Amino acid sequence: MLPSYVGYGLLLVFGIFFTLVTFVMQRRRKQAMTAEQFSTAGRSVGVGLASASIIAAWTWAATLMMSSATGYQYGISGPYWYAAGACIQVLLFAIVAIHLKKRAPNAHTFLEFIAQRFDVKNHRLIMCFALMTNILVTAMVVLGGAIALNSLTGMNIYVAAFLIPLTFTIYTMIGGLKASFVADYFNTVMIFAILAIFATTIYIKFGIDPIYEGLSNLPASTSMLTMASVPGLFFGMINIIGNFGAVFVDQAYWQRAIASKDSAASRAYIYGGIAWFSIPFAIATFLGVSAAGLGISVATPDSVAPEMAAHLLGSVGSILFLAMLFMAVMSTGAAELTAITNIIVTDIYRKSMNPQATSEKLLNVSRRVTLGFGLMMGILSILLFKVGISLSFVYMAMGIFVSGAVIPVTLGLLWKKATNTGTFYGAFSGLVLGVTVWITSAQLLFGEISVSTLGELQPMFFGNITVFLVSGTISIGHALMSSQEFDFESLKDKFRSFDEDQTTEEDVAYEQKRATAK
């Protein structure tokens, strides 16, 4: 195990490095930061940078930690179900991304579109889903980073949980969404490079045969060496449903579409989704499945990845894994910070509290919200550790709490017949019945309701599938029975720039380019 000061040193180095990069980038731009730039990065990001950003934003700490845990627990089916189950949502998001660009080109959040498309109560309900998604995802980022630091350096897990959010909060306050994109690019390159080192080392040091023989000798070999593993299938279904919510209800992915050029929005999600598949599939196979085959004993499945990295390369392996993990933590954390900041500033402060706020005022509020949310997540993560909530529990329960809004939101963007009533009761009923089925099935199957029984695969599966079926049935059914049709053309000129009175030469050139393209 590394000494604890290595953990503190890594936090300090990563925080200072990205803060300096952001500061230098701001000075080189020779352009004052505005509220519009802070929240949309000028809506001019190309396909390459946007693709790298999507890969990095979707590479959570859970992608490295949880995917390896599935390989360790479920064998060869675990890596596939994790990677495929979380890849399809990003690919499908390309469809809604291009529709948002067409129907609300100047929107800052997808909730701003929802407010114009539906009524007030739908806007408030979907906003609750969006905020819950951002909080759960950020909690997983912090929990995963703190577990890895504690496993490899012995650093106090509560101190780690509080300090981790500060590392990405400071540079996000300075550079906004653009800083997040630049950090994402660095992080994606580093993650692939370190992943290649681990894969090559395992192949050279052990080869395939000892791992296969080890899996064959396990008591659970009948499920570890087949894609038809029943536990693997349960996890796969939970993963697919839960991650629909984590993408389609997370402002972090909508704002990447908003920040991209019109020509780059849909292609970035296709390229990014395909490239992302290789990260969890490879890390779970090389660190999770290999650890099970080689008989590596770990404290908990959540910590198999860092402990296998240390087993492979000693201190060097631990440092490489921590570096890779922090690349993921910094990217996702910054993306979630800017997402929740945009929601609070656009859909709460500007819409309800101060509609006439100037760009300078909005920028000031954005930075305060970013700092406040970063500090709050540190405290919340400590509380989750105190009550015994694990990374795996939060990951699998996430879909029950956030996926109710997936079908209603998507229908609202793509289908003119989607109704206010169907959207509201579809999302709300999906959440209520999903939680009810989750708790009830835990009681019926295991005889008690506790963190342990609620975290079992079967209750998680029944809760997740109920949310999707109920929300989809109600929202589609009511739309089909209704004769209402929404005119998407009425949304034109409904969205106002934060810098309406501060139009720059760059904005004018971009708008002229958009008009020419049409």
Residue 516 burial by CB count (10 A; 0-12/13-18/19+): exposed, middle or buried? exposed
Domain 4-21+35-403+487-517 fold is Sodium/glucose cotransporter (1.20.1730)
Asked whether the predicted pLDDT for residue 286 surpasses 50, the reply is yes
CB 492 within 8 A of CB 104: no
At residue 462 the predicted structure's pLDDT band, cuts being 50, 70 and 90, is very high
Q: Which residue has the higher pLDDT, 204 or 17?
A: 204
| Most confident listed range (26-35, 329-338, 422-431, 454-463) | 422-431
Asked whether the predicted pLDDT for residue 58 surpasses 50, the reply is yes
Half-sphere exposure (CA, 13 Å, Cβ side) for 402? 30
Q: Which residues contact 348 (CB under 8 A, 6 or more apart)?
A: 127
The pLDDT of residue 405 = 92
Helical ranges in 207-354 per DSSP H: 209-216, 221-224, 230-248, 251-259, 265-283, 290-293, 304-343
The pLDDT of residue 515 = 53
Q: Which residue has the higher pLDDT, 229 or 459?
A: 459
The pLDDT of residue 509 = 55
pLDDT digits (tens, 9 = 90+) for 123-165: 999 999 999 998 888 888 888 788 878 877 888 888 888 888 8
CB 146 within 8 A of CB 164: yes
Residue 398 burial by CB count (10 A; 0-12/13-18/19+): exposed, middle or buried? buried
Asked whether the predicted pLDDT for residue 479 surpasses 90, the reply is yes
Asked whether the predicted pLDDT for residue 320 surpasses 50, the reply is yes
| Most confident listed range (53-67, 396-410, 496-510) | 396-410
Mean pLDDT, rounded, for 437-445: 94
CB 317 within 8 A of CB 309: yes
Mean predicted lDDT score pLDDT of the chain: 85
The pLDDT of residue 387 = 76
Asked whether the predicted pLDDT for residue 31 surpasses 70, the reply is no
The pLDDT of residue 85 = 84
At residue 518 the predicted structure's pLDDT band, cuts being 50, 70 and 90, is very low
At residue 407 the predicted structure's pLDDT band, cuts being 50, 70 and 90, is very high
Mean pLDDT, rounded, for 178-191: 81
Asked whether the predicted pLDDT for residue 468 surpasses 80, the reply is yes
The pLDDT of residue 283 = 92
pLDDT digits (tens, 9 = 90+) for 364-389: 898 899 888 888 888 888 888 887 77
Asked whether the predicted pLDDT for residue 493 surpasses 60, the reply is yes
Mean pLDDT, rounded, for 442-469: 89
pLDDT digits (tens, 9 = 90+) for 205-220: 988 899 999 988 887 7
The pLDDT of residue 331 = 79
Tell me how far CA of residue 289 lies from CA of 56, 78, 250, 283, 323, in angstroms: 23, 8, 30, 9, 22
The pLDDT of residue 476 = 95
The pLDDT of residue 15 = 82
- Token representation of residue 307: 């402990």
**Least confident window among 17-26, 52-61, 426-435:** 17-26
- Token representation of residue 492: 């034109």
% of the chain at pLDDT higher than 90: 27
pLDDT digits (tens, 9 = 90+) for 80-110: 988 988 888 888 988 888 888 888 888 889 9
- Closest listed residue to residue 162, CA positions, set 384, 375, 390, 388: 375
